[in-house]
Structure 1
Amino acid sequence: MEAKEAGSSVESIIVSFNTRISELQELIIARNMYPGSAVADLTAVDAAVKAMELQVQSIKDRLREETLALPKAKKLIEASLKQQKKLQEMATHVPSHLTTKTMSSLPDSNHHLQSDSSKDDLSLLGSLKVEEEPVVVHKEKKGRGPPPLWYISGDELGSLSSYMRGRLTLEKVNAAINDMAAYAESTAQLISAPKKKLPENMWERALELRDIAMTEGVKGKHFFLESDIKGPSLKLDNTGKAILTVLRHLGRISETRVGHHRVIILSRPH
C-alpha cells in the first residue's frame, strides 16, 4: 500500500510538472507569434490604467474641496437669513406712508441696489468666503447727529394692556415717532444756530432752549418742548396723549419739567 501511494504521488508530481511545462511552452509560442503587438497592447493598457488613476485622483481632490467648502456655504446661508430677518423687522417698524414716499422718490436706486446685490451674492457664492458679521453697538450720541428713530414693534404694542393700547395702531405710533424726531431736530438747529442767522424774535427762544439743554437730565440728549407738538401725526388731543403714554411706558421718551416748560426727551429703548 505504501509503495502504491508513493508511486501515485510521484506520478502526480510528474503530471504537474508536465502541465506547467506545457503552459510555459504555450506562453513562449504566443510571445513569439505576436512579439510586437503584445508589447504595444500592454503599453496601451498601462497608459489607460494610469489615465484612469489620474481621473480618480482628480475626483477625490474635487470631493475634498467641496467637503471643505460646505461649512463656508452654511455660514453664508446663515448670514443671508440673518440679514433678511433684520430687513424684515426694519420694514415692519417703518410707517407705510414713509416707505411709500421713499420708494416712489427712488425708483432707479432700487434697481441698481438689486443689481449690485445680485453681483455681490454671486461673487460670495463663487469664493465661498464668509466673514463673521461684526456686532455693531449703537451708542447714544450726546446731542450730535440726527435724532434717533427708535420705532416700536408689533410685539411691543401687543404686549400693552388693552386699556393702554386702545385704538392705537403701529402705524400711528411710529408716525408720531417721526414727528418727535423732527421736533427734536428743529430744537437742535435752533440751539446751535448763531445769532446773526436767527430772526430777532427767535433769539430769546434760542437762549431759553440753550439753558434747558444745559440742565441736569437733559444735557447731551435730544429733546423738544410739549408746546412744539403741532402735528402732522402727533397732536395734543386724546390720541396724541395716549401715544405719549405708550411711548413713555415703552421707554422711548421721558419727561421732565424745567421752569414752566414740560420737556420731552428721546430715550434709548430698554
Structure 2
Amino acid sequence: MASSDLEDLCCHINTKISTIKKTLQLRNMGQEPSLKSVLCKIGHEMFLLSGLLNKMEIEVEHQEKLKNSLKEMQESIERDYNEAQHLRENIPPHLPKAIPKCTVGLTVKSEEQSKVAEPECVKKPTKEPKFIKEAPLITAQEFEGVPAYMRGRLTYDQINGVVQDLNKAVVSKYKILHQPMKSMSSAVRNLYHRFLEEETKDTKGDKLTTCLPHERRVTVNVTIKCCKDLGEFFVVEADIKDFTQLKVDKRFHSILNILRHCHRVREVRGARLVRYVIC
C-alpha cells in the first residue's frame, strides 16, 4: 500500500474520532443544569428560524411565479407592439368605403293620408343630388383571395387604381346624363345622345327619383331601391378613354377579370359593345 493511501486513511480515522469526541462533549453539556436553559433557548430560536425559512421559501416560489407571469406578459406586449408597428408601416393606401344605401319606403293607406302626402311631393326641391353608384375598392383580404394565376404580377395598388378610374368614368358620364339639356354644349350633347343609344333593355331603368303618383282609396306599399329603379350604371371603352388616362390594354383586361371575380363589375354585351356594369 502506498504511503499516500495510509496518510489519507489516518486522516479519515482522526476526523471520525474528533467528531465522536465533540458529540460526547455536547451530550455531557446538555446534562449540566446551568446549560439546559441555554440549550432550550437555542432550540426555540432554531424552531423560529425554521419557520422563517419556510415562509421565505414560500415567498420565493410566489415571486418566481410572478416573474414568469410578468415575462409572459412582456412577450405578449412585445408581440402586440410588433404587430401594431407592422400595421402602422404597412397601412394600405386604399381603404374600402361604405356603399350608400338608398331605400325609400312609401305607404299610402287612405284618401286622407294621400292628401297629406301630396303637398310634400310638390314641395320637394327639383334639383336633388342624383345617386351615382360607384364600385368599392378591393380590400387586402379580397386581394389575397384572388387566385395566383389570375393575379400574376399585378399589385394591390394597380387594381384599386383601375377601380378609381372606372368610378371616375361612371361619375363623369352620369353627371352629363343628369345635366339639363339647355346647359349642354354641342360636344356634351353628342355624348349625351351616345350614352342613350348605348342603353339596352338590360341596363335601362326608370331613372325616377320624384314621388310616385297618388291613387285615392287604394292601399299602396312600395319599396324602391336605387340601383334597380335607376337602372344599371355602366361605362364602355369609349367612356374610359374620354374621361380617364387609363389605357385599355392587356393589363386592363387582366384587372377586369379580377374585378369580375371580386364582384365589382360584370359585362353586358350587345350591339357590338361591351358594357362594364358596376355591381
Higher relative contact order (CA 8 A, sep 6+): 2
Q: Shorter chain as normaliser: what TM range?
A: 0.3 to 0.5
- Structure of greater Rg: 2
TM-score, normalised with respect to structure 2: 0.43
TM-score, normalised with respect to structure 1: 0.44
Higher helix share: 1
